[in-house]
Copies of this chain bind each other. A is one copy, B any other.
Amino acid sequence: MEQYRIEPGKKFKLADFSADDLGDFDGKKQKGNEKLAENRADLVELQELLYSEHKHRLLIVLQAMDGGGKDGTIRSVFEGVNPQGVRIASFKTPTQMELDHDYLWRIHSQTPGKGEIVVFNRSQYEDVLVVRVHNLVPREVWKKRYQQINDFERQLSEEGTTILKFFLNISLEEQKQRFLERLEMPQKRWKFNPGDLAERKLWPEYMKAFEEAIQKTSTKWAPWYVVPANRNWYRNLVVSSVIVDTLKAMKMEYPNPAIDVEAFKKQLAEG
């Protein structure tokens, strides 16, 4: 999955990454879903270990255009994982109270604690994406944010948080199909937002903003992965594989507290 990780400092062109790519995966949807099921089983175990070890923190950032599949990724990748150790933080249009603070204020308060996995559905990156595209703050303000975000993420990382960032990359044509599906299926219509059509017209501006954000903030301590996301099954496979590999590399172990097991067993046997 390393082919989708953006190397820090290297020139990066979003156009070089196809939303239809299947990498070197030698199979189709069925085989992909079988592998996904294996990843899920691994994830259930690894999360249990993370939770009981109570040492590492894992932060997963999801960003995408509307219809890119953030919700579907969360549902599919974390199916079956103990909800007690996984928290989803969704960042919507900021409230007045949030706007009254700096843009990282609401973000910092939602970062994971020890033993916890937190998934950001949207994130601090909105403040260099939608904010930039719509000129919500002057250029000289958002320009400084790449460095600020890198510094913020480095501090989290140095204090023990592992950070993974995923851009779910769909094509303009695929977005159209997904919007049409929302309009056509009564059970999905509630997800259709007329405002999304106006955003769609700004596609090139968004791509430019994503490209610069990913280029400037893919770091050793908080790498970006550009995930081919036109096919849901492959998107889920890539995201879950990166998460599983990252957790495995932590070499976690169940805590073995130094207690006198036999003495406690005797005590229990008595009453």
A contacts, CB < 8 Å to B: 52-53, 71, 74-75, 78-84, 86-88, 90, 119, 121, 176, 179-180, 183-184, 186-187, 189-192, 194, 197, 200-201, 254-257, 259, 261, 264-265, 267-268, 271
Partner among B79, B189, B197 whose Cβ is within 8 Å of the Cβ of A80 = B79
Q: Is the CB of B259 within 8 A of A192?
A: yes
Q: Is the CB of A261 within 8 A of B183?
A: yes
Quick one: copies of this chain in the complex?
2
Q: Is the CB of B190 within 8 A of A257?
A: yes
Interchain residue pairs with CB less than 8 A apart (28) = A52-B190, A52-B191, A71-B84, A74-B83, A74-B84, A75-B83, A75-B84, A80-B80, A81-B83, A83-B83, A83-B86, A83-B88, A87-B87, A176-B268, A179-B268, A180-B268, A183-B265, A183-B268, A184-B261, A186-B254, A186-B256, A189-B254, A189-B256, A189-B259, A190-B254, A190-B257, A192-B259, A197-B267
Q: A264-B183, A265-B183, A267-B197 are in contact. Are A257 and B83 (CB under 8 A)?
A: no
Which residues in B have their C-beta under 8 angstroms from that of A83?
A: 74-75, 78, 81, 83, 86-88, 119
